[in-house]
Amino acid sequence: MIGELASALGWPTERQADGTLINPATGDDMTVLDRQRSLGLTVLSVVLPESRLVEGAAARGTTTVIGKVADLKNLAAGEKSLLSRLPNLGSPKANWAQNSGVLRQEMRLGQPIRDATVDSAGQLINNTGFLRAERNLLQCYGWCYNPSSTMWTPPVGP
């Protein structure tokens, strides 16, 4: 049941020897098994945080876009920014921790990420603030930027 649901949502799953389902890309536990022994019932509940639902959407073909806030205002159909998942936590340190975490989630999906803050030739501009840090993060994890497509692509395996 969980496997079917995860599959419908576009999540990759892998069943472990102990019966739990994990996401092989993230190692996250996909199920919470709550045995209601007193009632003699076994209730299987699925953890559905919002980020996972967005991940599911991404896996089904939504392109993630990074860039300065002004450049993320008019995205094409099938594109999404990370902004809706980045509420202001009150300090740049906490905001960056949140921002980098959400970006890492997207990176784990292994889908190309578009950079919207580019000049007419596709070169990366306005390399300051959190955008600079996001680009550094992508680069540190071996992602490559292509000015022709304005896409960051994940590293290919050996």
Quote the CA–CA distance of 44 and 35 in Å, as a whole number.
8
Angstrom CA distances, 77 to 65, 66, 89, 113, 146, stand at 12, 15, 29, 15, 21
How many Å apart are CA 73 and CA 55, to the nearest integer?
21
Q: Which of 7, 45, 51, 123 binds another protein (CB under 8 A)?
A: 123
Secondary structure element (H or E) that encloses residue 35, with its range = strand 31-36
Residue 88 found at the interface with another protein (CB under 8 A): yes
Amino acid, res. 14: E
Strands 144-146 and 113-115: unpaired
Does 145 contact another protein by CB under 8 A? yes
How many residues at the interface with another protein, by CB under 8 A? 31
Does residue 59 touch another protein according to CB under 8 A?
no
Kindly tell me which residue out of 5, 20, 68, 100 binds another protein, with binding defined by CB under 8 A.
68
CB of 57 to another protein, least distance (A): 23
Q: Which is nearer to another protein, 21 or 103 (CB)?
A: 103
Q: Which of 33, 48, 69, 97 binds another protein (CB under 8 A)?
A: 69
Q: Which of residues 92-121 bind another protein (CB under 8 A)?
A: 92, 95-96, 99, 117-121
Which of 20, 130, 137, 153 binds another protein (CB under 8 A)? It is 130
* Integer angstrom CA distances of residue 146 from 58, 124, 126, 130: 21, 10, 17, 20
Residues that bind another protein in the complex, under the rule CB under 8 A: 68-71, 73, 86, 88, 90-92, 95-96, 99, 117-121, 123-130, 139, 142, 144-145, 147
